């Protein structure tokens, strides 16, 4: 679907502990133009304490 539009997908995962729940996870899928998506690793990185 996005390949026809010449876009790549960037996935962002957010995990947060909530007081009323054990934890909550949200995964976002963001379509970006290919030239911008190539730069995504420069802007998004894994936190040093995350596994």
pLDDT surpassing 90 at residue 29? yes
pLDDT surpassing 80 at residue 40? no
Q: Is the pTM of this model over 0.85?
A: no
Task: Work out the pLDDT band at 39, boundaries 50, 70, 90.
Answer: confident
Please, is 16 exposed, middle or buried when counting C-beta atoms within 10 Å of its C-beta (0-12, 13-18, 19+)?
exposed
Task: Work out the pLDDT band at 32, boundaries 50, 70, 90.
Answer: very high
| Sequence-distant (≥ 6) Cβ neighbours of residue 49 within 8 angstroms | none
Longest distance between any two alpha carbons in the chain, whole Å:
43
Q: Where do the structural domains in the chain lie, given as residue ranges?
A: 3-46
**Residue the block writes with tokens 């030239």:** 35
């Amino acid at each position: 679907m996005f390949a026809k539009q010449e876009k790549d997908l960037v996935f962002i995962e957010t995990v947060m502990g909530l007081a009323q729940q054990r934890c909550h996870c949200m995964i976002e899928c963001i379509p970006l133009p290919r030239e911008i998506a190539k730069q995504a690793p420069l802007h998004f990185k894994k936190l040093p304490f995350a596994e």
